[in-house]
Amino acid sequence: MLTIAPSGTLDIAGAYLLTDSQTGDDLVVLDNDFSFFQDTWRIHDAQDGSLVAKVTSGGGLITIARKFLPVGQFIGHNFEIADAAGNSIGTIESDFAIRDQYEIKLSDSSSVPIDPIVVATVGSSHRA
């Protein structure tokens, strides 16, 4: 469905290009800021670089616990999804679980492509 290519060789923080594997068209760029306290993914249009949406984790203590505690990866995590204007358009939520399971709720998906939101969720579950 999608091809994801990092922009650099180190996978600490950075940009990831999402390409439609059927057509070869570049869709969006996901960029992630490195932080111990909060994960922030920005979704940019691949053609003009404009901001499409932002996915931000909530709770700095939860983020730290997920990164540093021996069983931290099992702690649930929540994110807020905002459109380019900063308006909240949804959430991503998980509970304590052995395997990451996220529920994505969008109140308005008309201005935000859904596929990159799902990819940002998968990416954040491995970082947070």
Higher pLDDT, 101 or 31: 31
Give residue-wise pLDDT tens across range 37-82: 777 889 998 899 999 999 888 777 777 777 777 777 777 778 899 9
Find all residues with CB under 8 Å of 18, minimum gap 6, and list them. Answer: 2, 3, 4, 26, 27, 28, 29, 30, 46, 115, 116, 119
79-105: pLDDT as tens digits? 899 999 999 999 988 877 777 678 889
The pLDDT assigned to 59 comes to: 72
128 token code pair: 């947070």
Question: What are the extents of the domains in the chain?
Answer: 2-126
Q: How far apart are CA 18 and CA 6, in angstroms?
A: 9
pLDDT band for position 1 (cuts 50, 70, 90): low
